[in-house]
């Protein structure tokens, strides 16, 4: 089973709200990723967690705060977002960061009003 699940599927939030995105995988993968994807653009890497530790932060603004509570779960906490942060947020996992096959979830479509 190569499934990565993400909740919620859609999220609308105001600029003063706090919300969280959730990602889960049960493949025993030890690397998990957050990507942001704008329409008709490729995914842009935001964060990488390797063995539950943050290993890459691609200079993402602090209004995005990742968390990896355990090896199966990845959260992205959102606070004081801007309308330009509206995008599809994708979670991915791979068996470890040294491997190249990343499996993506369906994404959360976020709209910031």
**Neighbour-count burial for 65-74, b at 16+ CB within 10 Å, e otherwise:** ebebeebbeb
- Closest separation in Å from C-beta 9 to other proteins: 9
If one asks whether residue 71 binds other proteins (CB under 8 A), the answer comes out as: no
Among 42, 53, 62, 84, binds other proteins (CB under 8 A): 42
Tell me which H or E stretch contains 93. Answer: strand 87-94
Which tokens sit at 40? 């008709």
Q: What is the DSSP string of 8-44?
A: -SEEEE-TT-EEEEEEEE-S---EEEEEEE-TTS--E
Span 16-35, contacts to other proteins by CB under 8 A: 31, 33
Which of 50, 72, 75, 95 is in the footprint of other proteins by CB under 8 A? 50
Q: Which of 7, 56, 82, 113 binds other proteins (CB under 8 A)?
A: 56
Query: From the CB of 72, what's the least distance to other proteins, in Å?
Result: 17
Number of residues that bind other proteins (CB under 8 A): 29
């Amino acid at each position: 089973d190569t499934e990565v699940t993400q909740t919620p599927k859609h999220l609308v939030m105001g600029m003063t709200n706090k919300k969280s995105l959730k990602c889960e995988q049960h493949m025993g993968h030890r690397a998990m990723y957050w990507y942001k994807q704008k329409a008709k653009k490729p995914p842009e890497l935001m964060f990488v967690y390797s063995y539950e530790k943050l290993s890459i932060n691609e200079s993402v603004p602090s209004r995005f705060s990742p968390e990896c509570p355990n090896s199966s779960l990845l959260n992205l906490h959102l606070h004081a977002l801007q309308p330009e942060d509206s995008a599809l947020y994708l979670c991915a996992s791979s068996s470890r960061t040294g491997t190249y096959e990343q499996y993506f979830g369906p994404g959360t479509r976020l709209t910031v009003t």
